[in-house]
Structure 1
Amino acid sequence: MEKYSIALLPGDGIGVDVVREGRKVLETISNIHGGYSFSFTEFDWSCEYYAKHGKMMPDDGLEILKNFDSIFLGAVGYPGVPDHVSLWGLLLPIRRQFEQYINLRPVKLLKGIQSPLAGKTSKDLDFIVIRENNEGEYSSIGGRMYEGTDMDMAIQNSVFTRKGVERVLRYAFNVAQKQGKRGHVTAATKSNGINHTMPFWDEYVEKISHEYPGISHDTVHIDALAAFFVSKPETMDVVVASNLFGDILTDLGAAIVGGLGIAPSANINPEKKYPSMFEPVHGSAPDIAGKGIANPLASIWCTSMMLDHLGQPESAKAIIDAMEDVLQEKEVLTPDLGGHSTTEQVGDYICEKLRARLG
């Protein structure tokens, strides 16, 4: 029997609530399947940990995490701790040291959810955004000069390397080849306004495309592409973007399929040299933490993505099917989706649907 080791980082606020339900789903489906199991180790690294220790995780935190099969993160963020502290103290070190250079965000309208885009159905809204996750516009190169004077200035440098660009593009073309609906890659750019990094990016899009003669592609300016997400999302298949552009597009993608409250993400190390990390996109929402009203669907969707990465695609699909069963019935939903059920009740009901489908 395969046994997967999972590091749980519930984090702050509702992260604790939703990770609990995600773990419950993983335990339920592994018990049904019988061919694999999980061992969980929980860590309290969070903004609360920062308040006590002056850092988001121990000095040897990455060394502790590196031998797990996957990392399951809830959410980080709490009033009084600046966002850049939680980001650069926990999330970015994990993503970069573990070479999680692929960020996956499905833009998929689940059955039972209504899109804010009039007339669009689950057939129209079903594509994936692949975001470069380790370099690009989110570098730590730059600085401030002349603070407090009339010459005050800030410089932030972008970093685009051949290795970084080629590997995310190859990943995108591979996904289009193996999983895409139309075998098409759309690359986000802004080479008409950013005159060094974006032409570099465009050049490698063309270069890598020649390795995949059966896959069509186009390169679209980010402003137009954002508009196309709204006006003609059914034309999208696999979208690939740099770190900043991917960050923006994925939040827009979440908005057109139900909002950040149900949006999952995966930070992938494709070679599996290091663990990959799975996290819902929503924030820590400390104002509703512990009240039992947080929506656990994004976290549960993350468990599906985790299972797919671990080589259990049938189990991954079963979780999505169970979620759609619950959404279409509309009987057990949290308040943000118009229901009156608790976080725990939704998690329990999805487990019940899994047992009905697979047990």
Structure 2
Amino acid sequence: MKKFEIAVIPGDGIGKEVVPAALTVLNTAAEVHGGIRFDFTEFPWSCDYYLKHGQMMPDDGLQILQGFDAIFLGAVGNPRLVPDHISLWGLLIKIRREFEQVINIRPAKCFKGLCSPLVNPNDFDLIVVRENSEGEYSEVGGRIHRGEDELAIQNAVFTRKGTERAMRYAFELAQKRRGHVTSATKSNGIFHSMPFWDEVFNEVKQDYPDVATASIHIDALAAFFVTRPQMFDVIVASNLFGDILTDLGGAIMGSIGIAPAANINLNGKYPSMFEPVHGSAPDIYGKGIANPIGQIWTAKMMLDHFGEEELGNKILKVIEEVTEAGVKTPDMGGSASTREVTGEICRRLKAL
């Protein structure tokens, strides 16, 4: 029997509601499968932890996490009490950067039982591969002066290694899907980094002659997400462009509450981390109506990462059966609670 050691960080707000729901589904899936087992170790690191201890995680937090097979994260943030730049850089981004989780992947698809705001979504099924370690989100820059002469400089950093790594991941993923990669660029407006991005993309694609390609400026690409999302298979994008596109991907699905994500470490030195795209939603925390699907779909991506794609696909199939049957939380136009949606998914999993 395979055993997977998972570090669980529910975090803030609805993370504390949807993470237990996803763990219930994972345990049910393990029972159905019969050949795997999960050992979950929960850590209370969050904004509440920060208010008590002055930091989002203990000094040896990364050393503690390093020994796990994966990290399963709920949500981070409570901006009323802790500024976002403290909560995110003290936990989520700290883990991403120091564990070399250099790739972020986020799927979006026309979801059964969910009403897309698009008039004709045309059964789109796409996945964004986002460079996750540098680009526009680098820490290089600074501020000087105050008053009317105040100046802020933010440098975007693009290395050949980081850029090529993301692109090769996208091409290899496309080979397992429908064989098409779209590059998100803006070389007609950003003078140095985007022409460099284009050059690397043109070099990398020569090694994948079986994969069709396109290079589209980010403004037009965002418009195409709305007007013809079915044209996309795999999109590779820089840190900022990928971040924006994936939130848009959640929006065209009909609810950002169902969108999953994975932060992937490629060298095997550290665990990868799995988290939904939605935030902590403090306005609905405690009401029992948080949508658990984003966290459960994220669990499916973690199973894929472990090589358990068949079981992961069963979970996604059941999720869509449940939404199609009308068992949905209020954000999806339904009236079901978090517990009811989770229970119906587990019931159908057991019936497989």
TM-score interval w.r.t. the shorter chain? over 0.9
The range that moved more, 94-103 or 267-276, is 267-276
Percent identity for Structure 1 against Structure 2: 61
Question: What's the CA shift string for 1:238-275, capped at 9, x where partnerless?
Answer: 10000000001111111101121111111111343311
CA RMSD of aligned residues (A): 1.0
Question: What's the CA shift string for 1:163-201, capped at 9, x where partnerless?
Answer: 10010000001111122x2x1110011111111111111
Shift of 1:340: 2.1
Q: Which residue is 2:14 aligned to?
A: 14
- SS for the counterpart of 1:150 is helix
- Inter-partner Cα distance in structure 1 for 2:73 and 2:218: 29
Q: Which residue is 1:350 aligned to?
A: 345
- SS for the counterpart of 2:253 is coil
Matches within 5 A, 1:169-318: 169-179=167-177, 181=178, 183-318=179-314
1:335 and 2:327 correspond: no
Report the count of equivalent residues: 351
- SS for the counterpart of 2:149 is coil
Q: Which residue is 1:150 aligned to?
A: 148
Question: What's the CA shift string for 1:184-237, capped at 9, x where partnerless?
Answer: 110011111111111111100001001111111111110011111111111111
- SS for the counterpart of 2:236 is strand
- SS for the counterpart of 2:148 is coil
Q: Normalising by the residue count of structure 1, what TM-score does the alignment of the two structures yield? A: 0.96
- SS for the counterpart of 1:352 is helix
Question: What's the CA shift string for 1:87-143, capped at 9, x where partnerless?
Answer: 11111111111111111110112211121110224x2x1011110001000011111
Q: Which residue is 1:85 aligned to?
A: 86
Shift of 1:322: 0.7
Q: Which letter does structure 1 place at the counterpart of 2:340?
A: Q
8 A Cα contact 2:8 2:40, kept in partner: yes
8 A Cα contact 2:329 2:341, kept in partner: yes
Shift of 1:283: 1.0
The runs of at least 4 consecutive aligned structure 1 residues that moved more than 6 Å come to: none
Shift of 1:2: 0.7
- SS for the counterpart of 1:288 is coil
- SS for the counterpart of 2:129 is strand
Q: Which residue is 1:54 aligned to?
A: 54
- Inter-partner Cα distance in structure 1 for 2:208 and 2:293: 35
- Inter-partner Cα distance in structure 2 for 1:354 and 1:230: 33
Q: Which letter does structure 1 place at the counterpart of 2:170?
A: A
The answer for unaligned runs of 5 or more in structure 2 is: none
Shift of 1:300: 0.5
Q: Normalising by the residue count of structure 2, what TM-score does the alignment of the two structures yield? A: 0.98
Q: Which residue is 1:40 aligned to?
A: 40
The answer for unaligned runs of 5 or more in structure 1 is: none
8 A Cα contact 2:110 2:121, kept in partner: no
- Inter-partner Cα distance in structure 1 for 2:111 and 2:313: 12
- SS for the counterpart of 1:256 is helix
- Inter-partner Cα distance in structure 1 for 2:302 and 2:264: 10
